């Protein structure tokens, strides 16, 4: 088991007078090496909070996260760096996950240099290779993020996450901001990656059909709780909970 999330809880205080809002409630998730799991739930169910806690952008109130059987609580700077070398994330909004005044080349080579994967000299060549791997032309290197389309940027984001050869990549609604056709292209890219690269993934989305397409095991979240866990081949099993059936039904309505 590469990642073990054990009974994670998180509350936010919005108003001193009101009760704190419980965003995550004893959520537990496990992830094996090279396994792709999905986390599905409607807006506001705590999916993104979960991702943020895994990325240590937020701290949890209760519960524990173990990466490679080591707790990631109270890491110092160096340990956190090592952790990030193992766990990367692709964000929902491609445009806002790149600083607007930094060129693509710098975005890509920064990570490579920071984690000591290659020297400054070689980083440009390596960035070129990374771009080609995700199906983008090399001339995009010298563009600013605002000059690329959402789909192209999301490819760069995937290239950036993969560049450090992490053990886990978290996709937080990674295709939600894209149109249907671009979404399909990204999913195809991810399928290819699944074949060629070795990493586990947590695919977080509100779109259950999409998650089925890509993940082998699925967690369903509702109001901060994991309400169901099942293998995606068992989707039509009669044992599915009511809520999961509702989500599946809603997804099939679209088609």
Partner 1 sequence: MQEVSKKRIAVFKANKRGYWSLWIFSFLFIVSLFSEFIANDKPLFISYKGAYHFPVFKSYSEKVFGGDFESEADYRDPYVQTLIEKNGFMIWPFIKYSYHTIKMDSSLSFPSPASSENILGTDDQGRDVFARVLYGFRISVLFGLALTILSSMIGVVAGAMQGYYGGKVDLYGQRFIEIWSGLPTLYLLIILANYIQPTFWWLLGLLLLFSWTGLVGLVRAEFLRARNFEYIKAARALGQSDRMIMFRHILPNALVATVTFMPFILSGSITTLTSLDFLGFGLPAGSPSLGELLAQGKENIQAPWLGISAFVVLSVLLSLLVFIGEAFRDAMDPNIAQSMEIK
Interface with partner 1 (CB under 8 A):
52, 55, 57, 81, 84-85, 87-89, 91-93, 96-102, 106, 110-111, 114-115, 144, 146-147, 157, 160, 164
Shortest CB 35 distance to partner 1, Å: 21
Q: How far is Cα 250 from Cα 124, in angstroms, rounded to an integer? A: 45
* 153 versus 220: smaller Cβ distance to partner 1: 153
Shortest CB 74 distance to partner 1, Å: 17
Token pair for 142? 């010298």
* Cβ(134)–Cβ(121) below 8 Å: no
Rounded to 5 degrees, what are φ and ψ at 201? -145, 145
* Cβ(117)–Cβ(94) below 8 Å: no
Q: What's the full length of the chain, in residues?
A: 255
C-alpha closest to that of 228 among 207, 245, 203: 245
Shortest CB 66 distance to partner 1, Å: 19
CB atoms within 10 A of CB 125: 11
Residue for token pair 């993940």: 215
- Work out the angle between the directed axes of helices 104-114 and 120-133 (0-180°, nearest 10): 120
* 81 versus 241: smaller Cβ distance to partner 1: 81
> Burial of 88 by CB count in 10 Å (0-12 exposed, 13-18 middle, 19+ buried)?
buried
* 64 versus 93: smaller Cβ distance to partner 1: 93
* 42 versus 110: smaller Cβ distance to partner 1: 110
* 173 versus 183: smaller Cβ distance to partner 1: 173
* 28 versus 106: smaller Cβ distance to partner 1: 106
Shortest CB 105 distance to partner 1, Å: 13
Shortest CB 254 distance to partner 1, Å: 27
Shortest CB 112 distance to partner 1, Å: 9
- Strand 36-40 and strand 21-31: the pairing is unpaired
């Amino acid at each position: 088991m590469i990642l073990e999330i054990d009974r994670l809880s998180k509350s936010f205080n919005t108003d001193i007078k009101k009760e704190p809002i419980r965003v995550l409630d004893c959520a537990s998730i496990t992830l094996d090496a090279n396994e792709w799991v999905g986390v599905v739930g409607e807006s506001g169910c705590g999916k993104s909070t979960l991702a943020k806690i895994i990325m240590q952008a937020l701290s949890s109130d209760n519960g524990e996260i173990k990466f490679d059987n080591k707790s990631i609580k109270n890491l110092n700077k160096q340990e956190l760096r090592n952790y990030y070398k193992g766990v990367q994330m692709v964000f929902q909004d491609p445009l806002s996950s790149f600083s607007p005044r930094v060129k693509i080349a710098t975005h890509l080579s920064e990570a490579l240099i920071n984690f000591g994967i290659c020297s400054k000299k070689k980083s440009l060549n390596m960035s070129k290779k990374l771009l080609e791997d995700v199906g983008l032309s090399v001339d995009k290197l010298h563009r600013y993020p605002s000059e690329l389309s959402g789909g192209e940027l999301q490819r760069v984001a995937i290239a950036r996450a993969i560049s450090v050869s992490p053990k886990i990549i978290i996709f937080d609604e990674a295709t939600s901001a894209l149109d249907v056709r671009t979404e399909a292209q990204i999913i195809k890219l991810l399928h290819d990656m699944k074949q060629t690269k070795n990493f586990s993934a947590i695919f977080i989305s509100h779109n259950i059909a999409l998650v089925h397409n890509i993940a082998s095991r699925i967690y369903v979240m509702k109001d901060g709780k994991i309400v169901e866990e099942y293998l995606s081949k068992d989707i039509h099993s009669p044992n599915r909970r009511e809520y999961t059936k509702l989500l599946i039904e809603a997804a099939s309505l679209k088609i």
